[in-house]
Structure 1
Amino acid sequence: MKIATMATGGIGGYLAVKLTQAGHQVATIARGAHLDAIRDRGLTLETADGSETVTPWIATDDPGQVGPVDAIIFGVKGDGLEAAAKACLPMIGPDTIVLPFLNGVEASDRLIAILPQANVGNGVAQVSTTIAGPGLIRQTGGSGQFLFAERDSRPSARVDALRAAINESGAAAPVTTDIVRDLWLKFIMFSAFSGVTAAARCTAADIRTYPPLGQLFRDVMAETAAIGRARAVDLPNDIVDKIWERVKKFPDSMRASTALDLEKGLPLEIEWVSGAAVRLARESGLPAPCNAAIYALLQPHRNGRPA
């Protein structure tokens, strides 16, 4: 397959390495020192099992140099979605599928305001990654599993083809029958993990150790789950308890990408996490005081500043 990663950050870089090693033609869209390193030394993925380095089919900052591809792995930060969507238009052919793997639950809806609706799917990545340095992607947690589908979760040949490619690459892409539910299951966890580890400057171990922090974590999840149910998402009644059991097994030092960005003084995509929970709660006529408090606490850092 011909596949493009737009842009080649943590998620895109992870899949770019896996899919290139599996023999697929992968175009990595990147910029700056990260792009220079990919061109000069290749793209490296570090996991608990070791490191892998590949030379992508194309490494460029100009999607116009790539041409139409079979699939676009869309992994930009939430605030960069509009500009990246417009930039990827030259890579879209009649049957191209664009799969957003962004934090939050709104990316697919935002994409269809810019791209042809027939080309837009939906996806959720269950892996934690970061750009550890130019040309270097590091997995920091998660299972390396990718769930994706057409927007309405109907079966399709193009989804099946990409799913087979990812499964054969050593990553995992199981079949899903309800991608919207999958997105909300992650959003419930991530709204809490992102918000708490960033606002409290803490780790998974801290959340488990300090009861008030753990209670805040559970309260944020309960709020977000209530928002999903109000929007007719089919969520288990015991979802908060189930996710809490998972959190108990997170590595002690694990933090969300939001917390890592805060530490580095980078802009935060809180508008699409805590901010989205507050906005969607308001639309549904529900209170979301815990999400609102976290959103307020992170406002001074939204555009990036020294931590």
Structure 2
Amino acid sequence: MRIGIVGVGGIGGHFGARLAERYAPEHEIVFVQRGEHLDAVREHGLRYATRDHESLVRPALATDDPAGVGRLGLAILCVKSRSLEPALESLRPCLDQNSLVLTALNGVDIARRCRMILPGQTVLPGCIYLSAHIESPGVVRQVGGAGKFFFGPEEGDVEKHRWIETLLAGAGIKAVLDADIRARLWEKYLFVGALATLTAATGLSIGQSVRDPQTRQQFTGLMREIMALASARGARLAEAKIAENLALAERIPPETRTSLQLDVETGKPAELDVFTEYVLDSSGELGLEAPIHREMFRSIKRKIGR
């Protein structure tokens, strides 16, 4: 089978390196990437480093133009949200009715956006608990996270996708086929979305945010606004998740900063569309109030000059 990894950054590097190390040449692993990172992978391969392991893999093909790749049996999307629609458009020639699209992006609305571009295509949304980044062109380093990847269909037969779990697990990826992936996506989003918005707006680290009484209260308020939105979207989250997430944030190294926060602070394009803006826009559509998100969004816009 030909498997395409679309976006070989931190998350895509994880999938690509594991799959290529285990399955090449049994399966044809293709990397879709751009820029200096692509050039380095073409010349030297992809080096993927964790705390206790380092691998160097060479894909069957590394390209910035999927049109010439041929049919993909499985496409794993790991691009940033802002690049999702262009990436999907570029994949059209590679997909047929039997191809599967697996997503590993931030956000709870990714599968719907995929189906808008690729109507009729089987799209399996997923979320991964992993922190990794491009350390230098051709090098991806994992710095945290358990690496668990939850995925599954939003409706229909779950078991027919069990082979994907087996495929990924065989490569050392901690894949879990989830019968209620919608709830799983919202559970992650509750934590990541609220913390990303809070830290990007205040400029505080995660440790400072959960230990300062005022920002701790704001974090709780942001989570409650997301819970209300999740409920309106048909995903019920347990009240206990608030306390669990506060405790989880306290266990993270206190100096840690979120990726959204770092992007805002360094002037890079930030994924506001899947975090703060998404909550505000969706809440507005459903007649819900999200005053803390609105206040935080004003602060973030001042920082980025919008």
TM-score by length of 1: 0.92
Task: Tell me which residue corresponds to 2:162.
Answer: 160
Give deviations 1:237-280, integer Å, cap 9, x for gaps.
22211222222222233322212222432111102111101111
Q: 2:128 aligns with which of 118, 121, 125?
A: 125
Q: 1:62 aligns with which of 45, 65, 75?
A: 65
Letter in 2 for 1:13: G
State the identity as a percent: 31
Letter in 2 for 1:244: L
Give deviations 1:183-238, integer Å, cap 9, x for gaps.
11111111112112222223222123322222221211111011111222132122
Give deviations 1:114-141, integer Å, cap 9, x for gaps.
1133322211122122222211222232
Distance 2:95 2:11 in 1: 20
Q: 2:39 aligns with which of 33, 36, 39?
A: 36
Letter in 2 for 1:3: I
Measured after TM superposition, the shift of residue 4 of structure 1 is 0.6
Task: Tell me which residue corresponds to 1:112.
Answer: 115
Moved more, 100-109 or 290-299: 290-299
Task: Tell me which residue corresponds to 1:53.
Answer: 56
Task: Tell me which residue corresponds to 1:15.
Answer: 15
Matches within 5 A, 1:55-94: 55-94=58-97
Q: 2:242 aligns with which of 215, 240, 243?
A: 240
Give deviations 1:26-75, integer Å, cap 9, x for gaps.
21100110100111111122222242221112101110221112211112
1:5 equivalenced with 2:9 (yes/no): no
Letter in 2 for 1:140: V
Measured after TM superposition, the shift of residue 93 of structure 1 is 2.5
Moved over 6 A (4+): none
Aligned with 1:8: secondary structure? coil
Does the C-alpha gap of structure 1 residues 56 and 202 become closer, same or farther in structure 2, counting only changes over 3 Å?
Answer: farther
CA contact (8 A) 2:134 2:141 kept: yes
Gaps of 5+ in 2: none
Moved more, 21-30 or 42-51: 42-51
Measured after TM superposition, the shift of residue 177 of structure 1 is 1.1
Distance 1:49 1:254 in 2: 21
Measured after TM superposition, the shift of residue 284 of structure 1 is 2.1
The number of residues matched between the two structures is 303
Distance 1:112 1:248 in 2: 37
Aligned with 1:248: secondary structure? helix
CA contact (8 A) 1:193 1:255 kept: no
Distance 1:237 1:301 in 2: 33
Distance 2:120 2:299 in 1: 36
Task: Tell me which residue corresponds to 1:211.
Answer: 213
Task: Tell me which residue corresponds to 1:280.
Answer: 282
Measured after TM superposition, the shift of residue 109 of structure 1 is 0.5
Task: Tell me which residue corresponds to 1:95.
Answer: 98
CA contact (8 A) 1:128 1:257 kept: no
Letter in 2 for 1:299: K
Distance 2:70 2:159 in 1: 23
Task: Tell me which residue corresponds to 1:200.
Answer: 202
TM-score by length of 2: 0.92
Distance 1:178 1:39 in 2: 39
Distance 1:153 1:210 in 2: 45
Aligned with 1:299: secondary structure? helix
Task: Tell me which residue corresponds to 2:256.
Answer: 254
Letter in 1 for 2:251: K
